[in-house]
Amino acid sequence: MDINKLFKVPQLPSGSNKRRMPDNPTPEMLKKMRMDVSSGFPAGPPQETSASPAQNTSRAATVRDEDEDMEVGDRDFAPGGDADYFAEEDEEGRFYGGGLTGEQKDILNIFDKDIEEDVREDLDEMTMVGVRRLLTRFERAVNKNQNQRSKYPDDPTKFIDSEADLDAALKSLLPLAQSPVLAYPELVSSDSVARLIGLLSHENPDIVIDVVEVIHELTDEDVGNEAEDEEAEEGSREDALKTLIEGLLANSILELLVDNLKRLNETEESDRQGVFHILGIFENLVGFRPELSTELVSKTTLLQWLLSRIQSKSHEENRGYAAELLSILLQSNRANRLALGKLDGVEMFLKVLSQFRKRDPVDADETEFMENVFDSLCSTLGEPEVKKLFLDSEGVDLMVLMMKEKMQSRSRSIKVLDHAMSGPAGTACCETFVEALGLKNLFSTFMGKALKKQQKTQPEDTSHSLGIVSSLFSNLASDSPARIRLLAKFVENTYEKVDKLLEIRDAAQGRLRTVEKDIENEKKMLAEEGEEVGPGMEDLWYLQRLEGGLFTLQTVDYILAWVAMEDDGIRTHIQQMLRRKDKSLKDIVKTLEVYRDNVDENGAAAADGETSQKEILQNLILFLDAC
């Protein structure tokens, strides 16, 4: 198509000496042309220039100015009789006509008014009567479309109109999310929810996408926030949303949505949006009822689809959303984690993450995707069975390789290793970590030597590095070569790593003192008000202390106690450094006593006949007390 031809004025029905526009007219020329023709006067004859005929290659036109007071009654000049040719014109003479004649516009306006007037009134009022009218129109549209499709299954021209009506009826349900307390119970009681879910099996994917969009909007966690105060007397929006979700689940929405994930073709924009909304529905449902995450994995093939989806080569929105949903489903859910292990999910995670070993994500979206995959892997490593799968898939080796690189994945790999090596089930991972020469890279990060000059060690990196060292001391066998290599790291370079531990300890104590002051002030306020402090408040305050530096302090003192017990030179150095600040090993003992009293064993170590974490702490306390 030649774009220049679009700016040429069509030929007028009569007259052979018409003015012709150049191929690329300016806005001023278009304006003059409109004024000249719409005034009703014929264009003046061309005026020849003084040049000879052979040299005369251009023509000049004379233009009559239109009288400002003259009414223009005839504008047949508009191409195709476009009714908006002149009405939609800006100051520079550009026009944006709709291509419709006045008669065509009138017909469409009458049609729109006839179809949508009642719907708009119902939405504006949003009363029970209005809601029921919308649902009745929706029911009629569904029934009509089903009848037409059953009568003429091989002739789309026979049911195309009913399909358009059904599309409009579905879109008219979107505003119901503004009044959930009023609309949702009626949606369920009138069986409209069942009809809506039934359309997820419709032959037309566009109708399915409409249904998905409606359900996504209706199940959003923020539905009805604007009108919540006004509807307080009729019930809470949470109760209404609960009613709707129960109605959706009763009609097998989970299975139908997963089936449509496989049906939609994401190379098409509309289908891609449909997939996005389906994932959004799953997030909405799990956010409202977390226990549904187990049902989603056990009763559908969603987990397989998500694992396959994150492995696509190119990154786009739905791939990122799939990774986010995976992290939600695996969080604090043992059944889902074990199910992922059976599907070789750990191997798939490692394959996806390996691409970030030597390159950083290209943008913020891909960075979020990478972090969600790392978080999903960390969640699954909370299970002993998955730690073995991680080890068998050479996950430890891959994370050590990532630690060597100065990419964004480096910090996340340290986090993964912290989760993999923790607990008695992490012993094998600890041994493999030392064999893979992970100690060098670990302590380089710990000391801040592996970073570029403009970078600083992140608090998360320090915390996870401490967690790894703590797990190594807990899990490596006494007098084993791996343990001796670990202890040697604290002796080299004149105990520089011990000094780093003491530095971290001082910073953690400073943060903890601030939290302790806040807790004391809160206790005084409760005492003045005559309120008793129950076990619940004590637990809450303990959690505040952990977040405020106590967790770091406990981990550091645990490591210091181990190195002090196993090496006399290190113990003497620790005592000297503590005395400079009027402290002693007794301060470390106090920290370990609090740690011991709050350890939650869950019987994990006792089952294997191993020494429990509480017993380890008690032995360390006894040794330090004797020093």
- 60 beta partners: 47
pLDDT score recorded for residue 547: 93
* CA gap 389, 386 in Å, rounded: 5
pLDDT score recorded for residue 56: 40
pTM: 0.77
pLDDT score recorded for residue 527: 83
Alpha-helical (H) ranges within 58-101 are none
* 351, two tokens: 């394959």
Extract the residue ranges of the chain whose pLDDT is less than 70.
Answer: 1-126, 224-235, 449-457, 601-609
What are the residue ranges spanned by the domains of the chain?
1-48+60-66+73-100, 119-289, 495-600+612-626
Instruction: Collect all residues with Cβ–Cβ distance below 8 Å to 470 and sequence separation of at least 6.
Output: 555, 558, 559
Choices 1.25.10.10, 3.60.10.10, 1.10.3720.10, 3.40.720.10: CATH for 119-289: 1.25.10.10
By three-state DSSP, how is residue 82 classified? strand
Instruction: Collect all residues with Cβ–Cβ distance below 8 Å to 368 and sequence separation of at least 6.
Output: 320, 324
Q: Looking at the chain, how many residues does it have?
A: 627
Query: CA dist 68 to 36, 39, 65, 334, 443, Å?
Result: 13, 10, 9, 81, 86
Instruction: Collect all residues with Cβ–Cβ distance below 8 Å to 8 and sequence separation of at least 6.
Output: 21, 23
pLDDT score recorded for residue 207: 95
Which amino acid is located at 596 in the chain? Answer: R
pLDDT score recorded for residue 138: 94
Contact 402, 410 (CB under 8 A): yes
By three-state DSSP, how is residue 60 classified? strand
